[in-house]
Amino acid sequence: MHTHRLNVRLWQLLADTFGPLQALPGIWQFLSSRTPVPHFGSPRQESREADLSWWHVPITIGLRAPWHRRALEHCTVHLVSTDGSGLPVKLRWRAGDPKSGVPEADLRYRETLLVPVVARRQAGDRVAVVTNETFLAERKAKWRLPPGRYHWKLEVRSRDRKWESPHFYFLRVPADGQGNGHFTLEIRDDSPQ
């Protein structure tokens, strides 16, 4: 009887110390997983042309444990929406030539890959476009964005796994008469209304 009380107390102490038993499957999944996790960075300008604003998002992988693999192979990247607006849009990874891209890439530990997301010329028609796969491969602007505000998330897919950015990417497209100083892409932790 005394041993039983000791076991119950020990079990209660362990449960109080390490959290509820419902956390055990998650802990086991973390410990047994070898898959690294993508990290979605802050947007940055990557244009070398004076009249072009071209926003890119850097993506790296992080290892949560020393036994994780050092790469995610065959990754694709997509622009996704939480409002059901017909997305996802397949994007491309930036290759050596900034005006091209590759549809699939391997994310490696301690390497950063860039994803071209949106672009707008200051001169000419001043149309903002999502620089998706069709735009980079064929120079056809399928996703033109009129002036306004947009919010999306990015998603990396590798084989049968998906990772969505934990934050939103919030885009402001200025009115036709305004310059690219008002064409901004930033991170928000909550859904903009």
Q: What is the per-residue pLDDT across 114-125, written as a single tens digit (0 to 9) for each? A: 999 998 988 777
Structure token pair of residue 138: 């064929």
Give the integer Cα–Cα distance in Å for 188 and 23. 29
What tens digit of pLDDT does each residue of 137-188 get?
Answer: 666 667 788 899 998 999 999 988 899 999 999 999 998 878 888 899 999 9
All residues at 6 or more sequence positions from 129 whose CB lies less than 8 Å from its CB, including other chains = 118, 119, 120, 135, 141, 143, 144, 145
Over residues 37-89, the pLDDT tens digits come to: 899 999 999 888 888 899 999 999 887 767 777 888 899 999 998 666 667 88
Q: What is the pTM of this model?
A: 0.77
Regarding predicted confidence, which is higher, 34 or 127? 127
Kindly report, residue by residue over 27-43, the tens digit of the pLDDT.
556 555 667 789 999 99
Sign of the Cα torsion 128, 131, 132, 137 reads: positive
